[in-house]
Amino acid sequence: MKDFWSEDGPGSSTSSKEGFAGVKKERMNRLIMNFFVTEGYVDAAREFERESGTTTEVNLETIKDRMLIRRAVQKGEVEDAIDRVNDLNPEILEHDSKLFFHLQQQRLIELIRRKEVDKALLFAQEYLAPLGEENPGFLEELERTLALLAFEDPLVSPVKDLLGVQRRQQAASELNSAILHAQCQEKEPKLPNLIKLLKWSQNRLDDLSDTSYPKIENFETGETSRSSLQTPMVE
Amino acid sequence: MLGSQAKNRMIETMAKEPSPSQLNTANYGNFLKVSKDKLSVQYIGKGSHSNDVGAIQADSPVPSDVLVYYYEVHVRDAGERGVIAVGFADFHFRLSRQPGWEPNSYGYHADDGNKFHNSGKGEEYGPSFVQGDTVGAGIHLENRDIFFTKNGKKLGVAFSNVKATLFPTVGLHSQNEHVEVNFGAKPFQFDIEGMIAEEREQRQFAVLQSEIPANACHNIVCSYLKHYGYADTLKAFDEDSFKDQLRSNEENLQAFSLEDRKRVRNMLFEGNIEGARQLLIGRQPQLAHSQTETPFLDAFFHLSVQQFIELLRQEKISEAVEHARTSFSTFQGHSDQIDQHLEDVLALLAYKDPYTSPMGYLMTTTQREAVADAINSAMLEASSNVPTPYASSGGSKTSKSVLEKILVQLCRVQAEIRRKNENKGEIFNLEDHIA
Amino acid sequence: MTVMEEGPSSSGGAIYVPHESFVRKRAEEAVGELKEGVEPAKKKSTLRALRNEIIGDRTKKFTFVKEGAVQAVSKILRDALAKPAGFDATTTDLVIQSAATLGSFSCGLELGAEAVIESGAVTDLTQLLGSSDTRLVTAAARALRLLFQSSRASTLAPLSDSAILLLIKLLPLEDELTAGVSASILAKCCEIHGQQDRIQSFGGLKAVMRLLQSKLNKVQEAGMECVAAMTSENKELATFVSMDTEAVSTLLKLSKTGSSSTKLLACRCITSISTQPDAPEEIEKLRMHLLPVVIKLLKQAYHPHVPHVLARLLYDKQKLQKIAYDSNAVSMLTAWLLEAPGASPPQDQKYVKEGLLTAIGIISLHNEDARRSVIELKGIRTIVDALRDEDERVRAAACLCAKSLSRSRMAIKSSLFDAKIDGPLLSLLSDPSPQVQQTASATLCNLVLSFNPMKENILAAGGVRELAMLSKSMDSILRLHSTWAIKNLLCRANRRIKERVMEELTWPQLLTLLNDSEPDVQIQAVTIVRNLVFGKMEDIEPVVQYKNGEVLSILERLLSPSSGSSAKIREHAIYAVSNICSGSDKHKDMIIQSMILSSVLQCLRDEQSSELRVAAAWVIINLTWKDADDEASAKARIERLRQMGFEDQLESMKDDSSLDVKDRVVEALRSFK
């Protein structure tokens, strides 16, 4: 059985040849390091530097603030995160009303998680309602969040996603991006963009031709669609 | 940050292939007088017959490896009748005809502002142009269409589905017509950089619309760290991201645990080759006798070579020679690759300072990392109960991480897209997306 | 502003609504803890909490401002600075947090900005800029920037020289982000207080320009913001930038490849330097390269600066105006103008309108197609309405636009007339701004030229009274435009109109204008006479009648060789005479008996001006014209002329180099035969 690609790849230039056979380890290491540094995983970056010998231009000390802020949100300590962001640069929350709302919303979610219902209500009224008045989109999100209170067990409710780890991750990433933006650094790591580029490219190739090829369907495991691999092989 | 990105982008758009830089003075139409700098041309005939056109082309064809190719023509003098044509034509184009009149030629004509392709009859297109005007012609190589501009304004797509390899081509047809061509040495009147930047933005926007699983990146990073045995990084990453998944349970069932792989890696980094060997054999005693069987042939070969290198590093030359004599013979003759590599390694002995020798790369820490990867890969393969079909189907001996699979797939798909586009348009370069 | 008076609509009655006073009480307590005498540690934690409460939250800011928080915080800052010794850790934190808090109060809430300005904190914040602790410097700079960007910034006092010097010293900082903050403040100093020359006197521009080479986009943008502000309408500084080739090439690159906000800033800088009078050719050429970029920006985003940049770029450049029209600029601008209020934030609306009207006006100045576009897109109504705008700059721009449109006869006959432009335009003749008056009177010149219903309307609306007033102005341009407009109004006007005009203008005023110190005004006054005496005998009569021929004697004086009048004045005066000579015998005899005749002879002999010779020949033709019923008087006049040597003079001109002259001479000689 011949490999679909090796038959058709042009391999005309050295750079693309490398891409065909495999990718230089050092490049992948840089991608991983870029992910750690951009997302503010300072300990992982440090360990990775030691274990793989990959260096980064970024001074890891400067990421520390970002890491602590990320950690605070991920642990549900949103007030602490807000305090730290304001220490770092008070203009960030001043100018980004969407981010500000999401952090306040996260504070509300944490109160509900801790079952402090009275506090949660007071907080929603005092801090979130005025923001909702200025922006109908916020109001809708606020209403959805308050719906958590209506269920005996919010964890099985239709709004249970708000209590997930995912939610904290999202808020943490949004805050992280805003800090990077304020520091004129790239907001997004390269990795997600490359994965998206692959998905887009595969779709484009589908549009361009009917020939099927081994297409990566699962981006977390790199598994390809086997059925399409078979078709072109029959002669 | 942004500034430097923009700079890179500009360099990227420059073709690696030769690009038109002046008019082709070796072969051009009748009645033409070309200036010394080969950038302007004048019509000196009467232009009374339809075959009296004087056409001239650029010295090179439009490069195939750019997103958009563009050049401009400034009308210094519209001559008696102002019948100038600007466009593209292929190599076989007759230079006594206007671009657009012949097959495989495309033109925008001054007198009526019409566009011409493979016909003496034009179609309505844009405004006419006269003395003092600057018109431009461009090809979008990925969309395969041709557009024109007048005085810095884009006039819209003139022709689609353009094929063939084309040369910038200009035709003059009445007395005193005089034009000046700009292949990019001077700034263009049309904002071509802006157009390219916009195209890229649109592309990037479309790419960003693609949805991928929310945790894809985390999982890919985790699996990468696991794959290569970066256990401490993985642990730190898990702690940083508050994921307390227990991985050891699944690992215990395997021939080599993540911890094993991490220790081997660390030992190799410290130059402790014997330690790594012992660990491998200690976990899988049968290996003591079958070092030349897959998947461990490569592993033990590299270990052996690395041992040699580490001895050289410690300047224990005679011990190194002794090691080579006793150990290398086990591997000789298994493959051309192995034999070639041995030759390279032994060549180190020929130099007084092996670090600065042509084989100096073998002495670097990058080489240690490469050896560590090879051994890690063998350990992984031995650990997986079900051999992954993709690792072997590619014909490659080493298993690939998910990240590598994705990147390889990306390069392949991009190359395939370009191939489907008759090998025109920018060549995908992974490095641009990583650096 | 309502604070916490009602909950979210869907929450129904289930939620306990805290009373407003509850929140207010807490705020009051917090402010109390910031006052003097409170233990520093307590003060510190309260201040931090306050900072975290108000940042990003306008409602909270409002509550705390009402409780006097701004005063309390600014007092903390002042007290800390009053201590002679250096700061301990707690004081440092207090100072940083006060700065951050004051900055936040200035942002997004007018009341807050006012309170901060009133508290006098600006002096303390600028003092901090000189601190050796970079954290304090950054905090102060950030707070000042927020204040200078606030809606109340126009009420700030100009920064002192020492404050400006401190800001300039921040520009070369290694911490480029803080350098950028400083550049933004300096930009505002130029925009609000016109301090560009002060800044330059400390070497500020050079230091700001270095920021253009930064790798950080925000810093580059801040640098450009400041360069744009400093070079706008400042020839010397614009030249300074244009001589730095590195800066110019960086700006050009940024104008083509940056984000749209970067592009716009780069365009503003390049526009400033390339539109300076006598800019070097290669710099001036940049206007051409910039135009497509600006047009694209116009297409992409409603940014307040874009129309202004476009207008400046096109000013005085017909070729660029044409290209802009070909690129659809007029329809984009007009479309934006029609939806203007919706597209920009309230504080920018006037500025945007001014820019749009100016740009439309400039593009259509020489381009009939552009004028037609504006009409077809139904832009006239809005433009005419803008003539009544309360903002002086909008009125001036609308007037400029109307002036361009009034060059089109089609526009006058249809849309401008229908939109009743005469009313608002006439009221602009008495506008407080001389600029507006000038443009309005120039527009009126075009409006009254040929379309009678428009003339009638303007007369009926008291337009001549306004013009007559302006003709007495001290401003010579206003006198010129108003006499010009009156002249146009009289052009081919019927007798009734002439009478009405003279009622308003009055004869003495006409005489004054004929003696005006400005030759250009004099010319218009003479042409007024020329238009008055054009037509029938009844038209001539009042002119020659006034004060026993006072007008005639002024013409006589203007024509006399000793008057030193220009050829243009003499030509119009001769034509006026010629018109009079087309009247009755009495009128002709008035001329025959006057000293004017010898001036006419002089004019025939004038070698320089063939127009003058033609005009003089016309006088003779009219004087020697034989009416069927009264040949005798004509004969007498011919004899008189012959005695004066006119026949010989005309004979000598039969081979005049000018064909026109020759024809008239032959015609005149015919009467002598």
What number of other Cβ atoms are within 10 A of residue C410's Cβ? 13
Alpha-carbon distances, residue C495 vs C405, C531, C547 (angstroms): 29, 11, 20
Give the CATH architecture of domain C576-672: Alpha Horseshoe (1.25)
In a domain, B420, yes or no: no
- C220: Cβ contacts below 8 Å, ≥ 6 apart: B3, C211, C212, C214, C254, C262
Q: Are residues A43 and A71 in the same domain?
A: no
Alpha carbons C482 and C476: distance in angstroms, whole number: 10
* β-pair type (A216-218, B54-57): unpaired
CA-nearest residue to C107 within chain A is: A94
Tokens read off for A227:
């059925």
All residues of chain C having their beta carbon less than 8 Å from the beta carbon of residue B133 are none
**What is the reported pLDDT for B325?**
84
Are B257 and B202 contained in the same domain? no
- What is residue C340's predicted lDDT score, i.e. its pLDDT? 67
> How far is residue B178's CA from residue B74's CA, in Å, rounded to a whole number?
9
**Which subunits sit against A, judged by 3+ Cβ pairs under 8 A?**
B, C
The answer to whether C74 touches C120, Cβ cutoff 8 Å, is yes
| Domain-located, residue B220 | no
> Do A127 and C57 count as a contact with CB atoms less than 8 A apart?
yes
B-chain residues within 8 Å CB-CB of A27?
407, 430-431, 434
Say whether both B180 and B41 belong to one domain.
yes
pLDDT at A9: 41
Q: What is the largest CA-CA distance in chain A?
A: 72
| Residue B294 near chain A (CB below 8 Å) | no
Dihedral (CA of C633, C636, C637, C638) sign: positive
- Is some CB atom of chain B closer than 8 A to the CB atom of C327? yes
Residues ≥6 apart with Cβ < 8 Å to C357: C337, C383, C386, C394, C397, C398, C400, C401
B406 and A46 within 8 Å at the Cβ level: the answer is no
Which chains border C (3 or more CB–CB pairs < 8 Å)?
A: A, B
Please indicate whether, in this complex, the C-beta atoms of A16 and B393 are within 8 angstroms of each other.
no
Find out whether the peptide bond into B295 is cis, omega within 30 degrees of 0. Answer: yes
Cβ within 8 Å, pair A132-C51 = no
Percent of chain B's residues with pLDDT above 70: 88
B301 and B362 assigned to the same domain: yes
What does pTM read for this prediction?
Answer: 0.74
HEC assignment per residue over C330-351: HHHHHHHHHCHHHHCCHHHHHH
Interface with chain B: mutation pick from C246, C256, C282, highest number of B CBs within 10 Å: C256
Which of the 8 DSSP states describes residue B150?
E
Q: Which residues of chain C have pLDDT under 50?
A: 1-17
Q: Does A206 touch chain B (CB under 8 A)?
A: no
Find the CB nearest A86 among C23, C51, C219.
C51
Amino acid making up residue C385: D
How far apart are alpha carbons C607 and C596 in whole angstroms? 19
Residues of A in contact with C4 (CB under 8 A): 125-126, 129-130
Structure tokens at C518: 């400005």
Could you tell me the residue range of the domain that residue B185 belongs to?
A: 2-207
Report the C-alpha gap between C613 and C605 in whole angstroms.
7
User: Please, how many CA atoms are within 13 Å of residue C370, restricted to the half-sphere of its CB?
Assistant: 29
CB contact under 8 A, C51 and A139: no
Q: How far is Cα of residue B25 from the mean position of the Cα atoms in its chain? A: 33
Number of domains observed in the structure of chain A: 3
Nearest to B194 among C256, C319, C323 (CB): C256
Cβ burial C22-42 (10 Å sphere, 16+ → b, else e):
ebbeebbebbebbeeeeeeee
Using a CB–CB cutoff of 8 Å, tell me whether C135 touches chain A. Answer: no
Does the beta carbon of C289 lie under 8 angstroms from any beta carbon of chain B? Answer: yes
Cβ-count burial of A135 within 10 angstroms (0-12 exposed, 13-18 middle, 19+ buried)?
middle
pLDDT value at residue C629: 67
Instruction: Point out the domain boundary residue: A58, A74, A107.
Output: A58
Cα–Cα distance, C144 to B284 (Å, whole number): 70
Q: How far is B138 from chain A (nearest CA, A)?
A: 23
| Mean confidence (pLDDT) of chain B | 83
Helix H or strand E encompassing B368: helix B365-383
Note the pLDDT tens digit of each residue in B366-380. Answer: 888 888 888 887 777
Average pLDDT in the B25-33 region? Answer: 92
Task: Determine, yes or no, domain membership for A175.
Answer: yes
In a domain, A123, yes or no: yes
Query: Touching check for A166 and chain B: CB below 8 Å?
Result: yes
Residues of A in contact with B373 (CB under 8 A): 25
Domain that holds residue A51: 23-58
- In C, residues 485-524, which contact A (CB 8 Å cutoff)? none
- Using DSSP bridges, classify how beta strands B54-57 and B68-77 pair: parallel, antiparallel or unpaired: unpaired
Note whether A140 and A158 are same-domain residues.
yes
Q: Is residue A10 part of a domain?
A: no
> Could you identify the residue written with the tokens 């006039």?
B155
Chain C CB within 8 Å of residue A135 CB: no
Which CATH number do you get for residue B71?
Answer: 2.60.120.920
A215 lies in the same domain as A108: no
Q: Which residue of A has its CA nearest to B229?
A: A51
Residues C65/C105, Cβ–Cβ less than 8 Å: yes
Touching partners of B (3+ C-beta pairs < 8 Å) = A, C
SS (H, E, C) chain A: CCCHHHHHCCCCCHHHHHHHHCCCHHHHHHHHHHHHHHHCCHHHHHHHHHHHCCCCCCCHHHHHHHHHHHHHHHCCCHHHHHHHHHHHCCHHHHHCHHHHHHHHHHHHHHHHHCCCHHHHHHHHHHHHHHHHHHCHHHHHHHHHHHHHHHCCCHHHCCCHHHHCHHHHHHHHHHHHHHHHHHCCCCCCCHHHHHHHHHHHHHHHHHHHCCCCCCCEEECCCCEECHHHHHHHHCC
Q: Which residue ranges make up each domain of chain C?
A: 576-672
* Residues C587, A87: Cα–Cα separation, whole Å: 94
Q: Categorize the per-residue pLDDT at B385 as very low, low, confident or very high, splitting at 50, 70 and 90.
A: very low
Looking at CA atoms only, how far is residue B336 from chain A in angstroms? 19
pLDDT digits (tens, 9 = 90+) for C541-564: 888 888 888 888 888 888 887 888
Q: Is B390's pLDDT higher than 70? A: no
Question: What is the band of B247 on the pLDDT scale with cuts at 50, 70, 90?
Answer: very low
Instruction: Answer yes or no: do A140 and A80 share one domain.
Output: yes
What pLDDT is recorded for position C227? 97
Min Cα–Cα distance to chain B from C327, Å: 6
* Contacting residues for A178 by C-beta, under 8 A, at least 6 apart: A92, A96, A99
Return the residue in A165, A201, A207 with the most chain B beta carbons within 10 A, the one to mutate for interface testing.
Answer: A201
Strand order through the sheet with B54-57:
B54-57, B167-172, B85-89, B105-109, B115-117
Any B CB within 8 A of A71 CB: yes
Å from C460 to nearest chain A CA?
52
Q: Does B184 touch chain C (CB under 8 A)?
A: no
Q: Which residues of C touch A183 (CB under 8 A)?
A: 177
The interface residues of chain A toward chain B in range 95-154, judged by CB-CB distance below 8 A, are none
The CA-atom distances, in angstroms, between C321 and each of C273, C311, C369, C371 are: 19, 9, 12, 12
Tell me the per-residue pLDDT of B84-95, one tens digit each, with 9 for 90 and over.
999 999 999 999
In-domain check, residue B131: yes
Is B192 in the same domain as B256? Answer: no
Instruction: Assess B6–A contact: CB distance below 8 Å, yes or no.
Output: no
Q: What distance, in Å, lies between the first and last C-alpha atoms of chain A?
A: 11
* Residues in chain A where the model's pLDDT stays below 70: 1-20, 226-235
- What is the three-class DSSP state of B275? helix
Helices (H), B214-313: 216-227, 231-240, 248-252, 258-270, 273-283, 296-313
Overall domain count for chain B: 2
Taking only the tens place, the pLDDT of each residue in C330-365 is 999 999 999 866 677 777 889 999 999 999 999 999
Identify whether residues A87 and A167 lie together within a single domain: yes
Say if A197 falls within a structural domain.
yes
Chain B neighbours among A 27-66 (CB < 8 Å)? 27-28, 30-32, 34-36, 41-44, 46-48, 50-53
CA nearest neighbour of C553 among C513, C603, C514, C604: C514
Contact residues on chain B for C252, CB-CB shorter than 8 A:
187
Q: Is B417 inside a domain boundary? A: no
pLDDT for the residue numbered A229: 38
What local confidence, expressed as pLDDT, does residue C592 receive?
A: 86
